[in-house]
Amino acid sequence: MRQALTNLVCAETWDEINTDIDGANAIMDTVLDSYFWSQVKYVLQFTKPIYYMIKFADSDRPVIGEVYEQMDSMLGQIKDIVEPRDTTLYNYIRVEVENRWEMLNVPLHALAYVLTPKYYHPSWLSTPAPGGGSRRKPHQDQEVHKKYMDALSKLIPDEEEAALVRRHLSNYTLNTGPFASMHAIKDRETFSALEWWNMHGGGTPLLQSLALRVLSQVVNTSSAERCWSSYSFIHSVKRNRLSLDRAESLVYVHYNLRLLSHYCEDAKSNKDLLIWDKNPKEPNLEDGVLRLEQLEDALIEVCPLWYDCMIFPYKAFL
């Protein structure tokens, strides 16, 4: 970019076109100023970690377990670049990032962080963290501990089951009990979180089921955008007197119906179970709640296992 702009302002044609541009001389002076380009390079250096973080999260891969660590690493990288040069700027960036993270952060992020096995392997714990300092196991962080315990309380309301899961979590964090085998410890470094729980979580089926469901979630915005799309069909001009609670309940039911219809082969082969927002001109748009309930019952009948799998992750955090 620098070379292209320099060639532009140094070309013979620049004198012909600069008369039509307000502040043409200031533009030329800026483009030819080496200090300006050094500042551009500096800005790109400390915004690159932010760009990589956004790119990391904006995918359909189940990366929810890595979001916490990626945010910490991003702030550490920015600190390494900015703080030696301008402490005030670093503090400003840190506050802005932390405020944004506070808006997006939910207890499920902390639980997924704790359930990601590689963050308990010695090879990761012994690596210096960006920004200085040493790494520690996720559950030893006070903020993470509080949030992941809140998530467990919401997801497992039964006290006996919750106590059993906490006991198994203790074994998991300490590499004891069902997780004490040499292979389970070694595979924490090389296996993905889902692969590891599929392979080594069989001894704790309740915790394994929880881990697989939590770690299967994605963190990009596409799911929220699809919800708004569904909301636009449900709360339309013709149906604008729906209460907020009723509209949100319809969106919740409809969104999970779409998941069922997309992944269940029996549902795909049954044209009667097509969801109406694939074709908003369908007459059953006006049938409202009754039609959705009929679709829900029919889908549960043809694929009941998908109902349990798909409904679980969303309701607790709506």
- Phi then psi for 11, rounded to 5 degrees? -75, 155
Among 86, 1, 98, 105, smallest CA distance to 50 is for 98
Query: Which of 215, 249, 270 is at the close of a domain?
Result: 215
pLDDT above 90 covers a percentage of the chain that reads 38
Domain that holds residue 28: 2-32
Instruction: Looking at the structure, tell me whether residues 295 and 257 fall in a common domain.
Output: yes
Query: Which of 191, 215, 239 is at the close of a domain?
Result: 215
Instruction: Looking at the structure, tell me whether residues 236 and 187 fall in a common domain.
Output: no
Tell me, what's the pLDDT at 260?
64
Q: How far apart are the first and last CA of the chain?
A: 45
Tell me, what's the pLDDT at 309?
44
* Residue carrying structure tokens 């307000």: 22
Confidence category of residue 49, pLDDT binned at 50, 70, 90: very high
Instruction: Looking at the structure, tell me whether residues 194 and 118 fall in a common domain.
Output: yes
Instruction: Looking at the structure, tell me whether residues 176 and 294 fall in a common domain.
Output: no
Instruction: Looking at the structure, tell me whether residues 301 and 206 fall in a common domain.
Output: no
Confidence category of residue 102, pLDDT binned at 50, 70, 90: confident
262-284 pLDDT, tens per residue? 666 655 565 555 444 454 444 44
Confidence category of residue 310, pLDDT binned at 50, 70, 90: very low
50-86 pLDDT, tens per residue? 999 888 887 777 888 999 899 999 999 999 999 888 9
Instruction: Looking at the structure, tell me whether residues 232 and 193 fall in a common domain.
Output: no
Instruction: Looking at the structure, tell me whether residues 170 and 46 fall in a common domain.
Output: yes
Instruction: Looking at the structure, tell me whether residues 99 and 179 fall in a common domain.
Output: yes
Confidence (pTM): 0.67
Query: Which of 159, 182, 215 is at the close of a domain?
Result: 215
174-215 pLDDT, tens per residue? 999 999 999 999 999 999 999 999 999 999 999 999 999 999
Instruction: Looking at the structure, tell me whether residues 184 and 57 fall in a common domain.
Output: yes
Instruction: Looking at the structure, tell me whether residues 71 and 195 fall in a common domain.
Output: yes
Instruction: Looking at the structure, tell me whether residues 199 and 121 fall in a common domain.
Output: yes
